Amino acid sequence: MPAQPPDDMPVSGPEGARDLDRYAEDSLESGLAVAQGNLYFSAVEVGGEGQRRRGRKLGLGAWLAIGWMVFIVLFSVLAQLGVLPLKSPTESFAACARLGPFAKEGTAPGHLLGCDSNGRDMIARLAYGGWSSLFVATGAVLFGLVFGGVLGMLAGFFGGKVDTVLTSLFNVFLAIPAVVLALALVAFLQGASSASGSGGTNVDPKLLLILAIGIVSIPLLGRITRASALTWSQREFVLAARAQGAKPLRIMIREVLPNVIPAMMSIALLAIAIAIVAEGTLSILGVGVKPPTPSWGNIIGLDRGKIKESPHIVFLPALLIFLTVLSLNFLGDVVRARLDVRESAV
Amino acid sequence: MTMPAVSPAAAETAAEPMLEVTDLTTHFETPRGIVRAVDGVSFTLDRGKTLGVVGESGSGKTVLSRSIMGLLPKRGTIREGSVRFDGTEIADLSAKEMRAYWGARLSMIFQDPMTSLNPVMKIGKQITESIRQHLDVDKKYANELAENLLRSVRIPEPEQRMKEYPHQLSGGMRQRVCIAVALACGPTLLFADEPTTALDVTVQAQVLDLMAQQQRERFMAIVLITHDLGVVAGRADEIAVMYAGRIVEKAPTSVLFTDMKMPYTEALLSSIPKLEQPSHTRLATIPGRPPNLVNPPKGCKFAPRCAYAQDRCLEEDPPLLPGSQPGHEYRCWFPVGTPEGIDALARNRANADAATGSPVPGAAGGAA
């Protein structure tokens, strides 16, 4: 039965209906309802003003976190692009070795934050190291988001056996200590790439790290995605879409996924923070970014023995990791809080 | 008969009703045991007619509609019986085969317009999705169709609304959008699952009027599910009262309201507050709660709460008995208004208690 063309259907309703619609329009135009997202609530919610403002405005902490992230990303990306007037991160100034702002032997002239034990400029190493750390962490989380996201969506949306199998798989992987798993993966991947790369091609060790940390992050991101997909899949509009004859894959991608993505974004920020720390851990253990290429982790790892005489070599990258992870965690919370507001309004 | 003149089309389909549900049973497997949510329901529905399904929460109304549409999850659901739609048996079709029916021929409106629209998809998109799924039309034509649909459900400035998100509309407007979505592909049978429960009373009437108008224009059958007898009173051709997963009384609307036989129907009706009563009159209630659907009572399912209940009601489950008027069926050993029923009620009043221990209104002992 084809749809009847409803061209000639009566347009005007009874007066009552029109008045009501007019009212709805007016309050929409005044912007009252748009803010909270719900007409009925906007009229009732007198005490909700403060809450609404908190939902809309970012606090000082959030601005500081955004500011720090913008600064650190610009600092490392511009350094990598060669735009910043920095010294080379691999060039040694032997006379300045281990000298710096807090070093016992004195400060290094011309190097604002001093040099590491090989006499390499700390500012340059921190900038280029920032690039390594952020690149590896972001890449790993993107990798984890894609695979963990797909698996989590499948588990949460289809449920049943698919869910049982995937969730147990996630649980098995989560039960293996993350560092041990990452170490094993790096070792395995290095072996595999050097075996296949004997023909001349050499895989960037950063890509191996991305792969290793990414794989470790799959169960974590997958479980979060699954939980969110599970709740959204049980919503009535999903049943409504089914009752309209939409195919499961279409429902999953068009109806459920757009609602799950905000949750994935908020966890992604936290995951990047975790991945930065993970990269640092692996570097300290000697399987991270290969020296002389700096990363925040391997700067600490290389000179961790000099912490007494030249604490700046260890503390400066640690400080950057600390501030970056703190900012990311904070932003993750901000994103989540704002999404909660949106959800309650819908 | 109080029915309006039968139109030729209706007479034609009278031979084979559009929807014929026979002995439909839907049980759920749960850790507590098997829940008999729908237990042997039969009815027929012709094109252009409205069947009102009335019952308390948990009486199986919603499960019945979803079971007929085949929308229940396969896991843990035991579904038996026959559903014939337009001469085709659709009860055993797979989800894949049902997709040709869903939206195009069978459609559904849900209770809560706040949750039955996707919060992150524009109104226009939500309507054109199913149009493009079922009809072979291009995007532009689908958009025009959607706009006309929105206009026909009386949404002002439809071209503007198409670009808005559900949260920008009021509850009544959202339910109109839901109706537009459900009607997009011209279904011949529409299930409306408590379509006005979440709405203001003033908006309720508008939405029901709109559904009636669309029904007339499209010559569509509607199964109107509600817990509110007032909603179906003026709008349904026939009413089925459900209790514990079964139809306990079914009759043409006028017959049901004038000549009810089932004490449950009577109790439902008397629980509606009346205008002529003084204010602060205590509302009549039905004592007790709906029965446990895992372990339903042995005899009549309503007996534990019934003012008419006798010993027989606890032992024997009454079958669907024909009433005096055509199309009237009920399940009761001591029907309201019959000598047996009057007798049973009088006996219970004298004993100040029903045989089952449920309080009897107006009893000598002053129970309830």
Residue B82 forms part of a structural domain: yes
Question: A61-345 belongs to which homologous superfamily?
Answer: MetI-like (1.10.3720.10)
Q: Supply the pLDDT for residue A43.
A: 36
3-state secondary structure of B82: strand
**Residue A59 phi, psi dihedral angles, 5° rounding:** -75, 175
Q: Supply the pLDDT for residue B361.
A: 60
Q: Supply the pLDDT for residue A135.
A: 93
Q: Supply the pLDDT for residue A150.
A: 94
Spatial separation of the C-alpha atoms in residues B299 and A133, rounded to whole Å: 73
Q: Supply the pLDDT for residue B11.
A: 47
3-state secondary structure of A244: coil
Residues in chain B: 368
Spatial separation of the C-alpha atoms in residues A194 and B249, rounded to whole Å: 79
Q: Is the dihedral of CA B278, B282, B284, B290 positive or negative?
A: positive
- Listed range (A150-154, A310-314, B184-188) with the worst mean pLDDT: A310-314
Residue B366 predicted with pLDDT over 50: no
Confidence of residue A202 (pLDDT cuts 50, 70, 90): low
Q: Supply the pLDDT for residue A70.
A: 94
Two tokens at A78?
Answer: 């511009």
- Hey, how many other C-beta atoms are within 10 angstroms of the C-beta on A110? 10
Residue A346 predicted with pLDDT over 50: no
How far from B81 is each of A191, B65, B229, CA to CA, in Å?
62, 14, 28
Confidence of residue B13 (pLDDT cuts 50, 70, 90): very low
Q: Supply the pLDDT for residue A340.
A: 60
| B87 phi-psi bin (left φ>0, alpha ψ -120 to 50, beta other) | left
What contacts A177, CB < 8 A, 6 or more positions away? none
Spatial separation of the C-alpha atoms in residues B291 and B15, rounded to whole Å: 38
Q: Which one of B68, B167, B207 makes the best mutation probe of the A interface by having the most chain A beta carbons within 10 Å?
A: B167
Q: How far is CA A117 from the centre of its chain?
A: 33
User: pLDDT (tens digit, 9 = 90+) per residue, A4-43?
Assistant: 444 444 444 344 444 444 444 444 334 333 333 333 333 3
Spatial separation of the C-alpha atoms in residues B25 and B78, rounded to whole Å: 8
Q: What mean pLDDT comes out for the span A228-246?
A: 90
* pTM (predicted TM-score): 0.76
Spatial separation of the C-alpha atoms in residues B34 and B304, rounded to whole Å: 21
* Residue B213 and residue B119 share a domain: yes
- Hey, how many other C-beta atoms are within 10 angstroms of the C-beta on A302? 22
Residue B22 predicted with pLDDT over 80: yes
Q: What mean pLDDT comes out for the span A187-203?
A: 69
Domain range holding B349? 286-368
Q: Do B129 and A241 touch (CB under 8 A)?
A: yes
Question: What's the mean pLDDT when you consider all of chain B?
Answer: 85
SS3 content of chain B, % helix, strand, coil (to 5): 35, 20, 45
Whether a cis peptide bond, with omega within 30° of 0, leads into A292 is yes
Q: What mean pLDDT comes out for the span B179-191?
A: 90
Sheet with B77-85, strands from edge to edge, namely B33-45, B19-30, B77-85, B88-89
User: pLDDT (tens digit, 9 = 90+) per residue, B52-83?
Assistant: 999 888 888 999 999 999 988 888 889 999 99
Q: Supply the pLDDT for residue A8.
A: 42
User: pLDDT (tens digit, 9 = 90+) per residue, B320-361?
Assistant: 889 888 889 999 999 988 888 888 888 888 876 666 566 666
Q: Pinpoint the alpha helices (H) of B259-316.
A: 263-270, 311-315
Give me the percent of chain B exceeding a pLDDT of 90. 29
Spatial separation of the C-alpha atoms in residues A299 and B89, rounded to whole Å: 72
B304's enclosing H/E stretch is: none
Residue B126 forms part of a structural domain: yes
Question: What's the mean pLDDT when you consider all of chain A?
Answer: 77
Domain boundary among B220, B236, B252: B236
Q: Supply the pLDDT for residue B229.
A: 86
Residue B242 forms part of a structural domain: no
Residue A131 predicted with pLDDT over 80: yes
- Listed range (A156-165, A223-232, B12-21, B162-171) with the worst mean pLDDT: B12-21
Confidence of residue A343 (pLDDT cuts 50, 70, 90): very low
Please report, as a single letter, which amino acid is at residue A325. V
Number of domains in chain B: 2
Q: How far is CA A320 from the centre of its chain?
A: 17
Q: Is B122 on the interface with A (CB under 8 A)?
A: no
3-state secondary structure of B248: strand
Q: Which one of A237, A247, A341, A342 makes the best mutation probe of the B interface by having the most chain B beta carbons within 10 Å?
A: A237
Q: What mean pLDDT comes out for the span A290-303?
A: 84
* First-last CA distance in chain A: 35
* Residue B65 and residue B129 share a domain: yes
Question: Are A301 and A285 within 8 A, CB to CB?
Answer: yes
Q: Which one of B136, B170, B216 makes the best mutation probe of the A interface by having the most chain A beta carbons within 10 Å?
A: B170
User: pLDDT (tens digit, 9 = 90+) per residue, B94-108?
Assistant: 888 998 899 889 999
Confidence of residue A2 (pLDDT cuts 50, 70, 90): very low
Q: Do A3 and B186 touch (CB under 8 A)?
A: yes
Owner of token pair 């008045």: A19
For B184, the closest chain A residue by CA position comes to A3
Residue B252 forms part of a structural domain: no
Question: Are B262 and B336 within 8 A, CB to CB?
Answer: yes
- Domain boundaries defined on chain A: 61-345
Q: Do A236 and B101 touch (CB under 8 A)?
A: no
Q: Supply the pLDDT for residue A166.
A: 94
Q: The domain spanning residue B85 has which CATH number? A: 3.40.50.300
Q: Supply the pLDDT for residue B356.
A: 59
Spatial separation of the C-alpha atoms in residues A294 and A65, rounded to whole Å: 24
What contacts A109, CB < 8 A, 6 or more positions away? A96
Question: Are B290 and B344 within 8 A, CB to CB?
Answer: no
Q: What mean pLDDT comes out for the span A68-80?
A: 90
ipTM: 0.82
- Hey, how many other C-beta atoms are within 10 angstroms of the C-beta on A75? 18
- Least CB–CB distance from A40: residue in B118, B151, B171: B171
Question: Are B170 and A40 within 8 A, CB to CB?
Answer: yes
Q: Supply the pLDDT for residue A155.
A: 93
- Hey, how many other C-beta atoms are within 10 angstroms of the C-beta on A54? 13
Q: Supply the pLDDT for residue B324.
A: 85
Residue B278 forms part of a structural domain: no
How many Å lie between the alpha carbon of B233 and the closest alpha carbon of chain A? 22
Two tokens at A194?
Answer: 């050097």
| Strands B77-85 vs B88-89: parallel, antiparallel or unpaired | antiparallel
What contacts B278, CB < 8 A, 6 or more positions away? none
Q: What mean pLDDT comes out for the span A240-250?
A: 89
Which residues in chain B are closer than 8 Å to A28, comparing Cβ atoms?
168
* Residue B298 and residue B227 share a domain: no
Residue B159 forms part of a structural domain: yes
Q: What mean pLDDT comes out for the span A42-55?
A: 42
